[in-house]
Chain A
Amino acid sequence: DQQVKQNSPSLSVQEGRISILNCDYTNSMFDYFLWYKKYPAEGPTFLISISSIKDKNEDGRFTVFLNKSAKHLSLHIVPSQPGDSAVYFCAGLNSGGSNYKLTFGKGTLLTVNP
């Protein structure tokens, strides 16, 4: 039972263009979402998060959008750079319950071509 789904295993974009990574969730108790970036042979690195009281959070080139009614969130990277090439994981949690138990999707491999 996958509670967090990243349906695109991979995405390829040109340098300078926008990258849009998508994530869907099924657990209605999730009210806090995070994106992590992972390079090969390294651990995930925290990128950006969003609480369900917001529908948008921005940090530099990274913006996360949350659509609670659709149980969908997306990560936008503008402009994309070759160094952004990595696997991106979406994660959700229930901040009122076990607010440490991250539930991850399977990840999307982003390739940014020069």
Chain B
Amino acid sequence: NAGVMQNPRHLVRRRGQEARLRCSPMKGHSHVYWYRQLPEEGLKFMVYLQKENIIDESGMPKERFSAEFPKEGPSILRIQQVVRGDSAAYFCASSLWKGGANPDTQYFGPGTRLTVL
């Protein structure tokens, strides 16, 4: 029973390049979340997606960042024209939709560590 998969695990980019981070949710999960962890900080919510829909992108920087979760394939977090401040660990989580009284548990992937030179 594979968990949430993220690749690459480590990504090095030079300033101005593009970074593409991929996330495959757990089997049967149709809800995906992206979080960013800057050094010495907690994880911060970026975006919530369902298949083919962005539900909430309130935590995403307005420029250079975009996310998608197509009908087929993994979710992609895309960062254009990376800057040094984008260096961080990016975690993806997924969940089922149970619709119960309690929020659905989010299961996290191992993260992608982005380093911008």
Contact = CB atoms under 8 A, between A and B. Distances in A.
A95 B107 contact: no
B41 A106 contact: yes
Given A6-B42, A46-B106, A46-B107, 5 more contacts: A32-B103, A44-B43, A89-B42, A100-B33, A101-B48
Contacts of B33: 100
Contact of A104 (B42, B56, B58, B105): B42
A98 B56 contact: yes
Contact of B48 (A46, A100, A106): A100
Nearest to A42: B110
Contacts of A99: 103
Contact of B110 (A4, A41, A89, A107): A41
A114 interface: no
A105 to B, nearest CB: 5
A3 to B, nearest CB: 10
Contacts of A93: 103
Interface in B83-102: 91, 93, 95, 101-102
Nearest to B104: A100
B95 A44 contact: no
Contacts of B111: 41-43
Contacts of A113: none
Given A44-B91, A98-B56, A89 B43 contact: yes
Interface of B: 4, 6, 31, 33, 35, 40-45, 48, 56, 58-59, 91, 93, 95, 101-111
Given A43-B111, A98-B56, A100-B48, A107 B106 contact: no
Contacts of A41: 110-111
Nearest to A39: B110
A101 B6 CA distance: 20
Given A41-B110, A43-B4, A102 B45 contact: yes
A51 interface: yes
A105 B45 CA distance: 12
Interface centre among B6, B45, B58, B109 (most CB of A within 10 A): B45
A45 interface: yes
A101 B34 CA distance: 10
